[in-house]
Amino acid sequence: MPIKVNIQLLERETEHLVGELPAAEISEGYGDNLISFAHPLHYDLEVERQPQGILATGELRLPITCQCRRCLKSFEDSVEIPDFAALAPLDGEDAITCEGDFADLTPFLREDIYLLLPTNPLCSPNCPGLVKPSEAGVSDSEPPEESGGSPWAALDQLKL
């Protein structure tokens, strides 16, 4: 269920919204395989009508499941916006989507959440990455590389 507010009612009074937005609503259009949304977005918002549009302020909290980009282990994290604020215009190119008297705030919440998601999630800042088979005590069927320099050494010798 998207977060919708009645524009006509906002003309008279502010509206206080508290609840959860399903993970499917938040993940719509998100394509990063390292982050998944298994839990709903928790929101606590004050919504009021402004001359330029609809102002929503409050708190957002979203638990996320990440996959470390170095070692590929899954870990839990969260995105929190304690001072969320969005002005959704009613007119113009960036106008909020309206159906009759109801305006959908979901895209504005989704956008701010996406901006705060980690671009390169790490399980810890000093994650060593994947363990090589030889370091894990597993014998390697491939012969070890000859110690003779870098695999880029042949390219370093090119004369252009």
Residue 62 is predicted with a pLDDT of: 94
Categorize the per-residue pLDDT at 65 as very low, low, confident or very high, splitting at 50, 70 and 90: very high
> Is residue 14 a contact partner of residue 58, using CB atoms and an 8 Å limit?
no
In a domain, 28, yes or no: yes
The pLDDT of residue 149 is 66
- The predicted model gives 9-29 an average pLDDT of 90
pLDDT per position as a tens digit, 77-96? 999 999 999 999 988 888 88
Residue 15: domain span: 4-116
- Beta-carbon contacts of 73 under 8 Å, excluding residues fewer than 6 positions away, are 67, 123
Which phi and psi angles does 153 have, rounded to 5°?
-60, -40
Domain count for the chain, please give it: 1
Residue 151 lies in a domain: no
User: Is the residue at 23 inside a domain?
Assistant: yes
What percentage of the chain has pLDDT greater than the value 90? Answer: 41
**Single pTM value for the model:** 0.72
- DSSP assignment of 89-125 equals ESSSTTPPPEETTEEE-HHHHHHHHHHHS-SS--SST
Task: Identify whether 87 is part of a domain.
Answer: yes
What pLDDT is recorded for position 99? 86
